[in-house]
Amino acid sequence: DTGVSQDPRHKITKRGQNVTFRCDPISEHNRLYWYRQTLGQGPEFLTYFQNEAQLEKSRLLSDRFSAERPKGSFSTLEIQRTEQGDSAMYLCASSLETNTGELFFGEGSRLTVL
């Protein structure tokens, strides 16, 4: 399978714990995005990488959230001191630099904070 893969698919954690999600994009895609989606809403932009550089970060993103993309390959999204409001589906997407509107999404990582 050469699509975008995300791990884990589901994560249940207690409030205050840290969680980390991993995304492996399509290998030739140099752009990688993280979005968050809650029930009944569209995806909400979190952050974006071109290769290893984090070029844009949502103003809504708390400093508890951090993302990395070492070596421009896979990416991780860490949420520190989770809160119940962090419960959502975290979606990763990748794209070619030349076709930035056609995003290829993974199946998401669903986070439940108890």
Partner 1 sequence: EDQVTQSPEALRLQEGESSSLNCSYTVSGLRGLFWYRQDPGKGPEFLFTLYSAGEEKEKERLKATLTKKESFLHITAPKPEDSATYLCALAGTGRRALTFGSGTRLQVQP
Interface residues toward partner 1, by CB under 8 A: 4, 31, 33, 35, 40-45, 48, 50, 55-56, 91, 93, 100-108
- Between residues 93 and 113, which has the closer beta carbon with respect to partner 1? 93
- Between residues 8 and 16, which has the closer beta carbon with respect to partner 1? 8
Measured between alpha carbons, how far is 34 from 58 in angstroms, rounded to an integer?
Answer: 10
CB of 10 to partner 1, least distance (A): 10
- Between residues 68 and 97, which has the closer beta carbon with respect to partner 1? 97
Give the CA distances from residue 46 to residues 8, 28, 37, in Å, rounded to whole numbers and listed in that order. Answer: 18, 22, 10
CB of 94 to partner 1, least distance (A): 11
CB of 105 to partner 1, least distance (A): 3
Helices (H), 1-114: none
Nearest alpha-carbon partner for 85 in 43, 113, 110: 113
- Between residues 57 and 66, which has the closer beta carbon with respect to partner 1? 57
Label residue 59 exposed, middle or buried (CB < 10 Å: 0-12, 13-18, 19+).
exposed
